[in-house]
């Protein structure tokens, strides 16, 4: 016998707890963290409820409340949320240093040197011999003075 009560479609929506116990969701929790998966899971379930409450406003995929469909929507939301928002671009503007296209381009050698240091701690403002804090400028001041002929040099970001 088919349930024809007004609440019948809502009863098909799984609880957040049962959704979180799905094997695929357990993998999402491991990948993205429990708090964010719970928050995004709530949003997916709320969207499913809203689609049922206002028929004709969503698409067929949004009306599907099977655990598989909900898990797929949850994965899509999480991947979109954590996808990198920056992407490479080609500067064809004619402006050498276009502020909308990020910082100055670094050479491959500069990127490799940066990568070698940036993956951990560094001696940016520490003198290893004395153990004391020192100016960050010491790494570039001599080179900048030599290149520019200036008496002093500093770097700001």
Instruction: Please say whether the dihedral angle defined by the alpha carbons of residues 49, 50, 51 and 52, taken in this order, is positive or negative.
Output: positive
pTM, to two decimals: 0.62
Token pair listed for 68: 């598989």
- Average pLDDT (2-22) is 83
In a domain? residue 87: no
End position of a domain, from candidates 66, 82, 98 = 82
Give a yes or no: residue 1 inside a domain: no
Give the CA distances from residue 94 to residues 81, 91, 98, 128, in Å, rounded to whole numbers and listed in that order.
Answer: 33, 7, 9, 45
Domain that holds residue 42: 11-82
Q: Are residues 22 and 78 in the same domain?
A: yes
Same domain, 21 and 73: yes
Q: Would residue 72 count as lying in a domain? A: yes
Tally of structural domains, the chain: 2
pLDDT tier at 18, thresholds 50, 70, 90: very high
Instruction: Give the pLDDT of residue 23.
Output: 96
CA distance 2 to 38: 32
For residue range 38-93, list pLDDT tens digits in order. 999 999 999 998 888 887 655 555 678 899 999 999 999 999 999 998 899 999 99
Domain annotation covers residue 94: no
């Amino acid at each position: 016998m088919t349930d024809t009560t007004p609440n019948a479609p809502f009863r098909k929506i799984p609880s957040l707890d049962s959704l979180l116990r799905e094997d695929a969701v357990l993998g999402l929790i491991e990948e993205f963290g429990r708090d964010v998966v719970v928050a995004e899971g709530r949003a997916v379930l709320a969207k499913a409820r809203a689609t049922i409450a206002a028929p004709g406003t969503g698409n067929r995929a949004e009306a599907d409340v099977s655990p598989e469909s909900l898990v797929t929507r949850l994965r899509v939301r999480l991947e979109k949320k954590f996808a990198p928002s920056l992407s490479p671009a080609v500067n064809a503007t004619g402006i050498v240093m276009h502020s909308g296209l990020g910082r100055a381009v670094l050479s491959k050698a500069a990127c490799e040197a940066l990568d070698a240091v940036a993956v951990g701690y560094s001696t940016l403002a520490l003198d290893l011999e004395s153990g004391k804090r020192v100016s960050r400028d010491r790494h570039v001041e001599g080179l900048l003075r030599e290149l520019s002929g200036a008496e002093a040099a500093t770097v700001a970001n």
